Amino acid sequence: MLTIRLSSLTAALSLLSFPSVAADCKGLPGAGALSTLLQQAQSVATFGHAGGIFDGARMWGAVVNRDGTICSFATSTSDPSQVWPGSQAIAKAKAYTANAFNLDSGPGVPILSTAMLYTFTQPGHSLWSLGQSNLFNTQFLAPPGGQGGGDNQIAGGLIFFGGGVPLYNSAGKIIGGLGISGDTSCTDHEIAKRVRHLASLDPPGGMTVDDITYSAPDGASVFTHPQCLNTYRNGVKLGTEQPATGY
């Protein structure tokens, strides 16, 4: 009898509709503003080339708040289907990652873009397998141009290559993360730091305080990221990814 009553209660509760609670996204760009920022970040006249395959012209962007909740996502194109569909999930995961591994600015507190976490998470390094600790929830994807997509939800996901940056207010407090995807990871990073700068959400120290570094010309370090196809940084061409050997 008790089992029957519990089953009936569970069935009744399943019919109730609980309204979603809007995320606190104060100070963060909404979808329309994010799309505009993505388009402005493409400007060669303002920033120089972004490199990669599309020079940063076909991007998904996503913003999460400090709780990791998705506040907005958008493409740089009027037709979202003309940006790689797989990049939507990557952008959201990069935004989550950039927020998840940063703190308020202060003495001795590093500011870490996802590009800076690359080496730590490679085989043989101290954070190998970290990406398995918080997997992306694919139910929070939207069809290109469709409804849903995880607004006011935590999609999670951890990605450790260029394209994710933390977002800060004018007091040096972290308020969320930005993720960009749609080109090479190096170009994604270039567009991410431009969008953050245009939105006036740079960390203390400016738009390049957590910039991507490469073994050439910067020298190898624990923060080194590999070069990509047609690599530019801050409008200067650095080189290109080396071809594979031994296949």
Asked if residue 148 has pLDDT above 90, the reply is: no
Tens of pLDDT along 52-86? 999 999 999 999 999 999 999 999 999 999 999 99
Tens of pLDDT along 123-140? 999 999 898 889 999 999
Asked if residue 26 has pLDDT above 60, the reply is: yes
Q: Which of the two residues, 163 and 129, has the higher pLDDT score?
A: 163
**What are the structural domains, with CATH classification, of the chain?**
25-238 (3.30.450.150)
Q: C-alpha 14: how far from its chain's center?
A: 34
pLDDT of residue 81: 92
Res. 6 pLDDT band, cuts 50 70 90: very low
Q: Which residues partner with 181 through β-bridges?
A: 60
pLDDT of residue 131: 87
DSSP H helical ranges for the chain: 2-14, 31-40, 44-47, 87-100, 185-198, 215-218
Percent of the chain with pLDDT over 70: 89
Centre a 10 Å sphere on the Cβ of residue 129 and count the other Cβ atoms it contains: 8
Question: Measured on CA atoms in the order 102, 129, 118, 230, is the torsion positive or negative?
Answer: negative
Question: Measured on CA atoms in the order 71, 80, 233, 92, is the torsion positive or negative?
Answer: positive
